[in-house]
Amino acid sequence: MTRQVWLNGKKVPQEQASISVFDHGVLYGDGVFEGIRVYNNRILKCETHIKRLFDSATAIRLPISYTADEIIAGMRDLVQTNQITDGYIRLCVTRGAGTLGLNPFTCEKSSVFIIADTITLYPQEVYEQGMAIITSSVIRNHPAALSPRVKSLNYLNNILAKIEAIDAGVMEAVMLNHLGFVAECTGDNIFIVREWEGKITLMTPPLHAGVLEGITMNLVIELAQKAQIPVHRMDMTKYDLYTADEMFLTGSAAEVVPVTKVDGRTIGNGTPGAVTDQLKKAFHDLVSQNAPED
């Protein structure tokens, strides 16, 4: 079956879905996007994703040419049309077609497109056995240049870090911020587990470290708090990663992924830890039963 794409209010076959070469999203990476999961015909945290999309657009002065309700209706219609029971939605907003200059005000109307398809980010054995990652030499964008909370179409620094990971024979890389603290990975947020003030604690970098406020990240934090696992946001260095008892990544596409090695150093005993397994199971139980859409 040929997949349909929602493009500016209409469904078209994916082979015919195109935007202008003069679109500032193509010319300059000028736009925002969301990656959203579908579980059992339910769009996970749909309203939260849409709010983040509109917040990102507001931050870069990008008027979205459709309302939130219209975009949500488009996503639901497309998921049904493409028969996606469990899958992934990519929702993108570009500045639209304009001139070859940087001036964004030559773009008369933003372009919105939605892709709904299946996705497998990592092999199943990674979720069962854990993955190895490296620390990249490519840092996150300086927060004074572009807020990390803007989910921008311009992912070039993340792509360069991803290339380093692939060259090193692994699938993911940790990115530091301009101060040398741990921020996040190329496409995922990062957590460690260690003893803190006498308790086994879940730790993750603070938002000011240059972190995208991940929706799956926040959901996992909620699940940890519900399980009475303390959660602490703190600035972390590579040392904190190397000496962690457990480590895992979170993301809409990745879900919850155990990490068992960083820069050649084994994390814990080299297998996914108990807290990681507990939260991974809690996440899967939640989304398989009644994935929250708000």
Can you give the residue ranges of every domain in the chain? 4-117, 124-289
Kindly report, residue by residue over 212-235, the tens digit of the pLDDT.
Answer: 999 999 999 999 999 999 999 999
pTM for this structure?
A: 0.95
Q: Is 226 a catalytic site residue?
A: no
CATH number listed for the domain at residues 4-117:
3.30.470.10
**CATH C-level class of 124-289:** alpha beta
Check whether 129 has a pLDDT greater than 80: yes
Q: What is the dihedral of CA 177, 179, 181, 182, to 10 degrees?
A: 10
Residue type present at position 29: G
Kindly report, residue by residue over 51-98, the tens digit of the pLDDT.
Answer: 999 999 999 999 999 999 999 999 999 999 999 999 999 999 999 999
Considering 45, 151, 162, 280, which one is annotated as catalytic? 151
76 near 43, Cβ under 8 Å? yes
| Structure confidence at residue 120 (pLDDT) | 84
Report the mean per-residue pLDDT for the chain.
96
% of the chain at pLDDT higher than 90: 94
| Structure confidence at residue 98 (pLDDT) | 96
Q: How far apart are CA 105 and CA 95, in angstroms?
A: 9
Kindly report, residue by residue over 114-128, the tens digit of the pLDDT.
Answer: 999 998 889 999 999
